[in-house]
Amino acid sequence: MTAVTCTIGDDTQLAGFESIRAWLNERYGIFYPPRKEDLLVHRLSRVLDRYALSSLQELARCIEAAQRPDVILAVLHAASTNHTYFFREPQVLDYFRDRILPQLGELPEIRMWSAAASTGDEAYTAAILACETFGRMEAASRVRILGTDISEPVIATAESGLYSQTHLEQTPTWIVGKYFQASGMGQSAIANDIRRMCMFRRLNLKATSYPFQQHFHVIFCRNILYYFEKVDQALVLESIYDVAEPGGWLLTSVTETVRDLGTRWTAVGGGIYRKLP
C-alpha cells in the first residue's frame, strides 16, 4: 500500500485539519497549538494510511459521522502522546516513597489513581515502590491502583504487562531482576503479583464527572496537563480534587505549573500537592 502524503496546503485540507483539531480540543481536551501543527499532521497521516482515507477532509467527515469507532480510537491514539517509561522523574517518586507512603501505612486499603496511565509504567512503578515500602505480600493485599487513559491501545499494553527494554532503561537493574521476567522477543513481563495490584480502564479526563465510587489517597497526573489549555487544566484538576480523599495527594510533573491555576490544591513542593484534611 502506498502511504498517503498529508499536507494542509489547500483550503479543503485545512478545513479538515481544523475540524479535527477543534474536535480533539473540545471533546477530549487535547490541544495542539499552531507551533505543533506539523506534528499533528504527521500523526494523522498514519491514520489516513492505515484506513485508506484520501484526505484530512475525509477523515474529518468520518469523525463527524461517528460511524467508525475504530477510526475515532485511532485518531485519539495518534493524537495523544504515549512516550513513557518506568521510574520517570525520580525526584517526585522519591517524595512519594519517602514521605507519602509511610503516612499511608496504617490504612487498611490504599487507593491510587494514575490518571494518564499510558502503557502502565507509572502505575506499576507505584506498585513496586509500595512493595518496597510495605513488603510484597502486605502491599499486594492492601494497595489498589487504577490506571486510566484515553487511548485503548495503550490500555491494552498496560494490561498485558509486557515491556521492551526502552521502557526499563531508567529502572535499577536489581528492580528489573526482582519484579520482571524475560518473556522473549526482547520483552520483559511484570510479575503477576504486581500486575494484580493494578487495573486499567479507558477514561476521558475532560469528561470531568468521574464515575468513581471510592476516592483516592494518591493521584498521579503527570506529563498530561500541558496538552490542555489552561481552562481545561483547571477544570481537570478541580475534578481530580473532588475524587481525592481528605488529606490526599496529587503528584504532577515538575515541569507542569499548577500553582497559578487557582485550584483548591495546596502546594507542598515541586510537583507535589495536597488536599488538606
Q: Which of 139, 133, 148 is nearest to 199 (CA)?
A: 148
Question: What is the pLDDT at residue 9?
Answer: 58
Q: Is residue 17 part of a domain?
A: yes
Q: Is there a single domain that holds both residue 70 and residue 97?
A: no
Lowest mean pLDDT among 73-82, 235-244, 254-263: 73-82
Pairing of strands 110-114, 216-220: parallel
Q: Is there a single domain that holds both residue 137 and residue 16?
A: no
Q: How far is CA 138 from CA 95, 105, 145, 197, 261, in A?
A: 21, 10, 14, 11, 38
Pairing of strands 244-251, 266-269: unpaired
Q: Is residue 6 part of a domain?
A: no
Q: Is residue 1 part of a domain?
A: no
164-204, pLDDT tens digit by residue? 999 999 999 999 999 999 998 899 999 999 999 999 999 99
- DSSP assignment string, 63-115: HHHT--HHHHHHHHHHHS-----TT-SHHHHHHIIIIIHHHTTT-S-EEEEET
Q: Is residue 5 part of a domain?
A: no
Q: Is residue 246 part of a domain?
A: yes
- For residue 3, pLDDT over 60 is answered with no
The span from the CA of 44 to the CA of 38, in Å, is 10
Q: Is residue 16 part of a domain?
A: yes
Classify the C-alpha dihedral 31-34-36-39 as positive or negative: positive
Give the predicted TM-score (pTM) of the model.
0.80
- Domain closes at, from 79, 103, 125: 79
Question: What is the pLDDT at residue 137?
Answer: 97
Q: Is there a single domain that holds both residue 74 and residue 155?
A: no
Q: Is there a single domain that holds both residue 191 and residue 100?
A: yes
216-252, pLDDT tens digit by residue? 999 999 988 877 888 999 999 999 999 999 999 999 9
CATH number at residue 49: 1.10.155
CATH number at residue 138: 3.40.50.150
Confidence class of residue 4 from pLDDT cuts 50, 70 and 90?
very low
Q: Is there a single domain that holds both residue 185 and residue 261?
A: yes
Average pLDDT, the chain: 90
78, 43 in Cβ contact below 8 A? yes
Q: Is there a single domain that holds both residue 186 and residue 55?
A: no
* Residue in this structure with the C-alpha cell 497549538, named with its chain if needed: 33
Question: Using the 8-state DSSP alphabet, how is residue 185 labeled?
Answer: T
- Domain closes at, from 79, 99, 133: 79
Q: Which residue has the higher pLDDT, 99 or 257?
A: 99
Confidence class of residue 1 from pLDDT cuts 50, 70 and 90?
very low
Q: Is there a single domain that holds both residue 267 and residue 137?
A: yes
- Domain closes at, from 79, 113, 132: 79
Question: What is the pLDDT at residue 189?
Answer: 98
118, 154 in Cβ contact below 8 A? yes
Q: Is there a single domain that holds both residue 50 and residue 95?
A: no
The span from the CA of 166 to the CA of 118, in Å, is 15
Q: Which residue has the higher pLDDT, 142 or 206?
A: 142
The span from the CA of 175 to the CA of 66, in Å, is 45
Q: Is there a single domain that holds both residue 139 and residue 234?
A: yes
Q: Is there a single domain that holds both residue 26 and residue 152?
A: no
Q: What is the arithmetic mean of pLDDT over 144-157?
A: 94
Q: Is residue 266 part of a domain?
A: yes
Most confident stretch, 39-53, 57-71, 107-121: 107-121
The span from the CA of 181 to the CA of 14, in Å, is 48
At position 81, the amino acid (one-letter code) is T
Question: What is the pLDDT at residue 96?
Answer: 98
Q: Is residue 127 part of a domain?
A: yes
| Number of domains making up the chain | 2
Question: What is the pLDDT at residue 124?
Answer: 98
15-54, pLDDT tens digit by residue? 889 999 998 888 877 788 888 888 889 889 988 998 999 8
Q: Is there a single domain that holds both residue 244 and residue 107?
A: yes
- For residue 2, pLDDT over 50 is answered with no
Question: What is the pLDDT at residue 156?
Answer: 95
Per the structure, the complete domain to which residue 66 belongs is given by 11-79
Q: Is there a single domain that holds both residue 41 and residue 100?
A: no
